[in-house]
Amino acid sequence: MSASLREVREARKFGLRELARALEVDPRLLSQWELGIRVPPVEEVARILGYLRVDRAVTNRILALAQHVKDPNWLDSNPSDLPAALTGVMQCERSASLITNWSPQIIPGLLQTPDYARTLLSASETKAEVVDARLVARLKRQRILSGYEPVRLKAIISELAIREVVGEAGTMSDQIDHLLALGVTSNISVRIVPADVGYHPGKIGMFALYDFPSDPSIVFLEHHHASAFVNELEAIASYRKLVKVLLDKALSEDVSRELLREAAR
């Protein structure tokens, strides 16, 4: 539903702030509706579709989604069994102009090889069909890094994630080779934070900061069985400061590549 709302707005050539102003809605709230972070009331969905003059068939389809979005049976019928937060993450990734990702323990999902990703997914899920579905979704997400207008990605990774042995023999070396290959592309920056830099606030956990061409920025926090989207201005400013701290501690791209080559041996 959230993705559909954004698609119809963009199809009508409306900017998010422009539509929010016309509907007298806070642009941050409208952004949250379009990203699946918050659920809009059905009447607000109808008002948006009416203002955009969306045709009846599309309107009925989106309204049906809006009416059932909180129905657990509707949600449980998802055949891919993907986490609910993943919808918002995928929408953020597709819409962002810049993604800044801090990963203190594992390689970021957008940069994972299939074998590395499967090993991680299998560690927390025993059903093979669920692992397969989530693996396919993760690999599809990586398409934003290539193509006509690829998203820019700043990946800040702890050395601990590089040194951690994941999977069978060859899985980790293949993963590091993959990082080396991606790190030389013009839209991807890979920088490593050495393990011996001491304590810093980034050790608390991983996060992704999404910057959009015109929409307010969003931070996504991910843990084992919980996740959260944050868009309060004060919180975003705090995470930007944390990014600066991490970049100050990180090795340059060239030195990071040297460390990766050494780790792959």
Provide the residue type at 160 as one letter: L
CA gap 23, 235 in Å, rounded: 27
pLDDT on residue 126: 74
Averaged pLDDT for residues 29-34: 89
**The whole model's pTM is what?**
0.72
Whether the pLDDT of residue 76 is over 60: the answer is: no
Within the chain, all domains assigned CATH 3.30.870 are found at 85-264
Whether the pLDDT of residue 84 is over 90: the answer is: no
Spatial CA neighbour of 219 closest among 193, 240, 201: 240
Averaged pLDDT for residues 124-138: 86
Asked whether 44 and 24 are in contact (CB, 8 A), the reply is no
Averaged pLDDT for residues 50-70: 82
Q: Span 85-264: which CATH code?
A: 3.30.870
Within the chain, all domains assigned CATH 1.10.260.40 are found at 2-76
pLDDT on residue 39: 84
Asked whether 219 and 229 are in contact (CB, 8 A), the reply is yes
What architecture (CATH level 2) is domain 2-76? Answer: Orthogonal Bundle (1.10)
Cα diameter, the chain: 60
CA gap 160, 104 in Å, rounded: 7
Whether the pLDDT of residue 72 is over 90: the answer is: no
User: Could you tell me where the DSSP H helices lie in 96-212?
Assistant: 114-124, 128-141, 159-163, 171-183
Whether the pLDDT of residue 83 is over 80: the answer is: no
Whether the pLDDT of residue 160 is over 70: the answer is: yes
Please write the tens of the pLDDT for every residue from 187-245: 999 999 999 998 898 988 999 999 998 778 999 998 766 778 888 889 999 999 999 99
pLDDT band at 256 (very low <50, low <70, confident <90, very high): very high
Instruction: Strand 98-103: give its sheet, edge to edge.
Output: 188-193, 152-158, 98-103, 207-211, 218-222, 227-230
pLDDT on residue 151: 95
pLDDT on residue 15: 92
